[in-house]
Copies of this chain bind each other. A is one copy, B any other.
């Protein structure tokens, strides 16, 4: 029996409220051996109180040593095994620009490139055009017409854009057309099964028409396509858990990931205050709230230790606006670590706390990597977090008699 079948068997309805607060890239590293991490450096009286009254541990995003992107990182937290549910690059790229992908879509990441007179690539990123130029080129590409297929082209940033083909029977087993080299022509798209052959045909026709449209627009006179991806076949969180779920996120990528698992996407502006305000307003309308906080990750990516500390403290200061709603279960965690020392996502387990009346307290009085290491949740795979959330909310019956 897989976990979702088990959940379907055990879940019960009750009026409890669950809040999942994801501080993106929360975990960190000390700059020197034996030093303090960002979270250990930050003054976090509210998180420390929650850790004291609740139970703590460390979440392993995928498997020991595996660093996830945002997609698998969040799928795990939502209770979808990130090794089983895979979200293709094209879909993630589309979600990241808030494009509303559907079951009929194949989404693809596109790059502008520069082609010489023989059609060979001289620059794989077209000299990194401005985003404005990217937008102008995308506008032109929207002239492409392909029979029985709706074609969407959306700008991302610099040389990057998204293409979505919408139609019946399109597969995604198609090779990247980027040859990862200069001095050669882009590859032809080829599908490895019948639906994917159809997609490849559409993609080659798209590239051909684009070549015509952009022929006088060097250095942005060519395109390569990567990460062909269909919309994944995935149950919604309401189907899995019987929870009415709301996502209160600021960045499109996280709204998109939440939409992927069927959450209602709440427009909360672009501040933490806007998010907690929405939480309060919608408190009675949902059972489960996903709050996403981006800046613990972006400051880590920037390698800015002090700024990450400050962002953690800002998040801590916002906690009373969450706890004042009296959630039955409040979880604080991250989708992965982003140590500013590494300037990147990492595999290191992520500090996690569950605050609930049914939590077995563990003597931990501080929310940090080293304290959570002694926590009652131990080290656990992120995909089990929602089981714990449901259990602490009293939303599971007994398994077997």
| Residues of A that sit less than 8 Å from B by CB | 1, 3, 6, 10, 29-30, 33-35, 37, 52-54, 58, 62-73, 82-84, 86-87, 89, 92-93, 339, 342, 344-349, 358-363, 369-370, 373-374, 376-380, 384, 387-392, 396-401
Contact = CB atoms under 8 A, between A and B. Distances in A.
A391 B360 contact: no
A361 B30 contact: yes
A65 B331 CA distance: 14
A396 B87 CA distance: 19
Contacts of A65: 384, 387-392, 396
Contacts of A72: 399-400
Contacts of A399: 62, 66-69, 72, 82
Nearest to A93: B401
Given A87-B400, A387-B63, A391-B66, A378 B10 contact: no
Contacts of A33: 52-54, 359, 361
Task: Report how many copies the assembly holds.
Answer: 2
A113 to B, nearest CB: 21
Contact of A362 (B10, B71, B370): B370
Contacts of A400: 68-73, 82, 86-87, 92
Contacts of A87: 400-401
A162 to B, nearest CB: 13
Given A67-B397, A87-B401, 13 more contacts: A3-B63, A33-B359, A63-B384, A64-B377, A65-B388, A66-B391, A68-B398, A87-B400, A92-B401, A339-B360, A344-B398, A362-B370, A373-B374
A392 B379 CA distance: 18
Nearest to A61: B399
A367 B67 CA distance: 27
13 contacts: A34-B53, A63-B384, A65-B388, A65-B390, A66-B396, A67-B397, A68-B398, A82-B399, A86-B400, A92-B401, A346-B358, A363-B370, A369-B376
Contacts of A66: 6, 10, 387, 391, 396, 399
A163 to B, nearest CB: 17
Contacts of A84: 1
B1 A71 contact: no
A388 B339 CA distance: 16
B64 A360 contact: no
Contacts of A54: 33
A344 B397 CA distance: 11
Contacts of A29: 358, 360
